[in-house]
Structure 1
């Protein structure tokens, strides 16, 4: 699941009753957006419940399912989602089926209280795992064979755990980044930007993701300036000078904040802007190249192909112009 690849990934989602809608959305929506943004079916998913009945959420909005959790020898990643009262649904039969299924799965993930269910089925023994922050002490005491850690999410070999809904969103963006690269993960994360109504001035909306956690306002300012200079990109020297830093210091701050150097982030912004124009307009590629800061159509085409594994013309040929809705 983590290898760089464009072949579709099928995920099995086992959702327990009383799970929050936002937790389910935190898993599915980044995958849906990755498909929409890329114009490819990169991800598919099946939804299962313990008994095959629609899942009754805490919001009293039922979630339809594809069937009951009756595993055979499926190798697809299995995500186990639970929010409230996981013990009520953690029957001995369900734990037996989870243990049986885990022998074949490439990855098994415990999402929020799904972490408790995996631990109770002895599927996290000798693995690092994270529960919700409120439950850390209780979890660590209850399962001494699990290496409990205080993190938003943990990827430890064939086991994944998360500590809540927004950490799950962070996790999904990280999985997209590992498989499909920084550009796609960035563009998906930007779909979740929230701006308070009427916000003005220097306030910059930034995605809350596993790889983009901005504590340094100078990095935020650099990102804002990159956004404002897509057509005529600033050199890193000029960008750093405007913020009052050396180029080397900007490189260091950027890498510490988002796990990527500034030139990678800047190029991803420009190429994502270009891909939107390729998909959503009929502009000539030379015009798109000029609008996104490339010196020539050929330079644009080379960079586009290197990032998206297809040419701009390939993208346009296979796509119907989508709506602008997220």
Structure 2
């Protein structure tokens, strides 16, 4: 599931009663966004509940289920989602079902309180894990055989655990980054930008985190200078650090070098122009900081595994109206 691949990935979701709607959305929406951007179904999912009835969310909005959860020999990754009162679902039958299906699943993830159910079924024994920060100490005391780590999400072999809704969003973006690369993960992140006052804020996301104000400043300069990219030395000077220090800050805070992030910004901007406008590729190359159409073409194909012409042919008919931007 975490290796580079453009093959479709199927994921099963076991949703427990009283799960937050936003937790379910934190798993599904990044995948939906990736499908929308790529223009094909690279991610597919099925929703299961313990009894096959619609998932009873805390928002009182039921989520339809594909079927009742049963321990079939599916190898798809299984995500177990829970928010409140998980113990009501922790029946001997369900724990047995989880133990049986774990023999075949390529990956099992405990999403928020789903981690408790996995631990109760002994599926986190001798694995590293995390959970919601409010429950961390209680969890660690209840399951000393689990190596607890204070982090937003933890990936350890065939086990994944998360500490809440936003950490789950971080996890899904990390999965997209590992499978399809930084450019797509960055573009999916754009779907979740929100406004606070007059400034746009990037949500805290794994690999795309901008907790350092100097990194945030550098990224804003990059976004404002897509047509004429700023060289690293000048960018660092405007931020107030050395070029080497800026590289270190990016690597520590975002997991990539500055030039990787800058190129992803420019190529994503180019891709939107390929899909949403009738501009020539030469004009798009110039508008996104490439010194020639051939250089743009090579870089575009290397990042998106298809030519700009192929993208336009495949997705042109999917272009939304100006007032119907994808969300």
In the TM superposition, residue 204 of structure 1 has moved relative to its aligned partner by 4.8
Q: Equivalent of 1:318, from 291, 295, 314?
A: 314
Structure 2 unaligned regions, length at least 5 = none
Runs of 4+ that moved beyond 4 A: none
Structure 2 matches for 1:160-171, cutoff 5 A?
A: 160-171=160-171
Question: 1:80-112 deviations in whole A, cap 9, x for unaligned?
Answer: 000000000111111111110010000000000
Structure 2 matches for 1:38-187, cutoff 5 A?
A: 38-187=38-187
In the TM superposition, residue 260 of structure 1 has moved relative to its aligned partner by 0.5
Q: Equivalent of 2:221, from 219, 225, 229?
A: 225
In the TM superposition, residue 179 of structure 1 has moved relative to its aligned partner by 0.6
In the TM superposition, residue 213 of structure 1 has moved relative to its aligned partner by 2.5
Partner-residue secondary structure (3-state), 1:195 = strand
Looking at structure 2, the residues matched to 211 and 286 of structure 1 have their Cα atoms a distance apart, in angstroms, of: 32
Looking at structure 2, the residues matched to 102 and 27 of structure 1 have their Cα atoms a distance apart, in angstroms, of: 20
| Equivalences, count | 322
Q: Equivalent of 1:269, from 258, 261, 265?
A: 265
Question: 1:206 and 2:207 equivalent?
Answer: no
Asked if structure 1 preserves the Cα contact closer than 8 Å seen for 2:14 and 2:47, the reply is yes
Asked if structure 2 preserves the Cα contact closer than 8 Å seen for 1:53 and 1:68, the reply is yes
The Cα RMSD (Å) is 1.0
Question: 1:307 and 2:303 equivalent?
Answer: yes
Q: Normalising by structure 2, what TM-score?
A: 0.96
Question: 1:150-197 deviations in whole A, cap 9, x for unaligned?
Answer: 111000000000010110001101111111111111111121111124
Asked if structure 2 preserves the Cα contact closer than 8 Å seen for 1:280 and 1:321, the reply is no
Asked if structure 2 preserves the Cα contact closer than 8 Å seen for 1:204 and 1:224, the reply is no
Asked if structure 1 preserves the Cα contact closer than 8 Å seen for 2:193 and 2:200, the reply is no
Looking at structure 1, the residues matched to 10 and 200 of structure 2 have their Cα atoms a distance apart, in angstroms, of: 35
In the TM superposition, residue 38 of structure 1 has moved relative to its aligned partner by 1.5
Q: Normalising by structure 1, what TM-score?
A: 0.97
Looking at structure 1, the residues matched to 40 and 232 of structure 2 have their Cα atoms a distance apart, in angstroms, of: 33
Looking at structure 2, the residues matched to 283 and 41 of structure 1 have their Cα atoms a distance apart, in angstroms, of: 27
